[in-house]
Amino acid sequence: MIKHEIEFTLNGKKRRLAIAANELLLNVIRDDMALTGTKYGCGIGECAACTVLIEGKAMLACMLLAVSVNGKSITTVEGLSQGNELSPIQQAFIDKGAVQCGFCTPGMVLASHALLTENPAPSENEIRDYLRGNHCRCTGYKAIVQAVQSCVKVPKR
């Protein structure tokens, strides 16, 4: 198969590579870029463990051909922290104990981050609705919802 030259920004760094048209973005991130925070769950867009941000929007890396993100900016869970300082939503997941096995956590964290960017003060229903595609099979969703709620800044009167 012929290789396509593509360029994208991954967690703030420009990356350039030649890949076959049938490469999944998910595999390029995990194998070629060696960033294994993005998880390979179902591979068919049902579990959202592979959620990444493309131009700030939450999308599934298993449902994207790597060639199609040419020129785009991608953020994975590794790109949320500033050096050793975790982002507010990452810290909230720790503080609220919203992690058990941790497999769904990167996807949950990124989807929550996208939600809070779009809507800084979501209600519980809005949080549950937004995370409805992100599946967790061990903790239940209560602590995860609480973690997102703890990031809601109450507007000062």
Using CB under 8 A, list all residues that contact other proteins. 1, 4, 21-22, 43-46, 48, 51, 54, 57-60, 62-65, 67-68, 70, 111, 114-115, 129-130, 132-134
Burial class (CB in 10 A: 0-12, 13-18, 19+), 40: middle
Residue whose CB is less far from other proteins, 65 or 86: 65
**Least distance CB 6 / other proteins (angstroms):** 10
In the sheet where 3-10 sits, what is the strand order? 13-20, 3-10, 73-75, 51-54, 57-60
Residues paired with residue 74 on neighbouring β-strands, in sequence order = 10, 54
Residue whose CB is less far from other proteins, 10 or 58: 58
**Least distance CB 96 / other proteins (angstroms):** 21
**Least distance CB 137 / other proteins (angstroms):** 14
Helix boundaries (H) for 4-141: 25-27, 88-95, 105-118, 124-130
**Least distance CB 156 / other proteins (angstroms):** 27
Please tell me what DSSP assigns to residue 55: T
Reference 130, options 146, 117, 111; nearest CA is: 111
Residue whose CB is less far from other proteins, 10 or 115: 115
Q: What is the C-alpha separation between 141 and 129, in angstroms, rounded?
A: 12
Residue whose CB is less far from other proteins, 48 or 99: 48
CB 122 within 8 A of CB 130: yes
Residue whose CB is less far from other proteins, 2 or 154: 2
**Least distance CB 72 / other proteins (angstroms):** 9
